């Protein structure tokens, strides 16, 4: 299969091994819209074949995520068979066997020169207990893995998350906050570039261009997170020999039902604030 070259302005590459999860957080961003995501999964060999087509940069890793990526039966196989020229990051809740992970994955394989950790662990006090998580993180950190914890500042859990940060920092663990995105008690939380775009109160046709390569669990490539989670038609598939990235504005007819991940104002991979995942133009502000 021909190589896939990542455009210079791309900021993120995501491989969603599965959207299944072993937790059930009430505010999960994956469930923001209509649940229509594809359940089929590529095998480990298929993921390796597809991902190894990618030609990226040192500062732009492939991020393994979900759901919970470690639920894929070939999770460790995939990590160990991605070509060395591709850096790997992992987003995880760390509910897997870390001793087994340490026996099979070299810490240097998931480590790079970056302003944030390569293994980014999510802490959700609604469904997790902090102390066992801290124990696992310290075990991996002491073994040389690049790892940190991120806590979502959900309004109902903000105080708990802030206390968790204090405890972790005292133990030498990098603990950072993530802005809560979504609805709570009738209010939409988050900092967004396009007003009303994720309020689900209207639908408009626009032109939209991504800065991300988003791969679903069956290898399908999507315009955005909203298309991934709601199961809309993909633009291609990573294991299709003919697939290549078209760095273009694409028509979208569901503007107003965006996913917060796509239009949030956030830091880019260099930790510079002001980035959004998509650029949208030809917005008709008259709502019908």
Instruction: Give the mean pLDDT of 50-54.
Output: 98
264 lies in a domain?
A: no
204 lies in a domain?
A: no
Task: For the chain, state the CA radius of gyration.
Answer: 19
Q: What is the pLDDT of residue 267?
A: 75
275 lies in a domain?
A: no
Q: What is the pLDDT of residue 271?
A: 72
DSSP state of 181: -
pLDDT in tens, 203-238: 999 999 999 999 999 999 999 999 999 999 999 999
- What range defines the domain where residue 227 resides? 4-182+212-247
Report the C-alpha gap between 52 and 280 in whole angstroms.
30
pTM: 0.95
Distance of CA 70 to the CA centre of its chain: 14
Report the C-alpha gap between 267 and 47 in whole angstroms.
28
Q: What is the pLDDT of residue 35?
A: 67
122 lies in a domain?
A: yes
37 has a pLDDT exceeding 80: no
43 has a pLDDT exceeding 60: yes
260 lies in a domain?
A: no
pLDDT in tens, 148-165: 999 999 999 999 999 999
Confidence of residue 287 (pLDDT cuts 50, 70, 90): very low
36 has a pLDDT exceeding 80: no
Give whichever of 26-30, 41-45, 112-116 has the largest mean pLDDT: 41-45
206 lies in a domain?
A: no
Domain harbouring 86, CATH code: 3.20.20.70
14 has a pLDDT exceeding 90: yes
Distant-in-sequence contacts of 97-103, Cβ < 8 A, 24+ apart: 98/136, 98/139, 98/140, 99/139, 100/76, 101/76, 101/140, 102/139, 102/140, 102/143, 102/145
285 has a pLDDT exceeding 60: no
278 lies in a domain?
A: no
Contact 256, 201 (CB under 8 A): yes
Instruction: Report the DSSP pairing between strands 88-92 and 119-123.
Output: parallel
Token digits of residue 264: 């949030």
151 lies in a domain?
A: yes
Number of domains, the chain = 1
């Amino acid at each position: 299969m021909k190589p896939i070259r990542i455009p210079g302005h791309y900021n993120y590459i995501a491989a969603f091994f599965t959207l299944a999860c072993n937790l059930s957080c009430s505010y999960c961003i994956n469930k923001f819209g209509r649940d229509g995501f594809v359940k089929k999964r590529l095998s480990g060999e298929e993921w390796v074949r597809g991902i190894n087509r990618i030609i990226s940069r040192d500062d732009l890793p492939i991020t393994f995520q979900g759901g919970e990526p470690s639920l894929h039966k070939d999770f460790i196989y995939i990590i160990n068979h991605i070509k060395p020229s591709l850096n790997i990051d992992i987003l995880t809740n760390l509910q897997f066997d870390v001793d087994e992970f340490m026996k099979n994955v070299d810490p240097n394989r998931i480590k790079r020169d970056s302003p944030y950790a390569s293994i980014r662990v999510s802490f959700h006090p609604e469904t997790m207990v902090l102390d066992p998580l801290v124990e696992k993180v310290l075990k991996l950190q002491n073994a040389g893995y690049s790892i940190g914890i991120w806590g979502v500042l959900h309004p109902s859990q903000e105080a708990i998350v802030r206390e968790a940060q204090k405890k972790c920092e005292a133990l030498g663990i990098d603990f950072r906050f993530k802005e809560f995105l979504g609805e709570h008690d009738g209010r939409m939380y988050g900092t967004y570039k396009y007003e009303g775009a994720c309020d689900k109160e209207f639908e408009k046709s626009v032109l939209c261009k991504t800065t991300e390569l988003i791969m679903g669990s069956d290898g399908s490539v999507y315009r955005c997170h909203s298309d991934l989670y709601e199961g809309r038609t993909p633009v291609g598939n990573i294991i299709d020999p003919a697939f290549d990235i078209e760095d273009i504005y694409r028509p979208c007819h569901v503007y107003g039902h965006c996913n917060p991940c796509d239009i949030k104002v956030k830091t880019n991979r260099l930790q510079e604030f002001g980035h959004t995942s998509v650029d949208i133009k030809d917005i008709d502000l008259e709502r019908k």
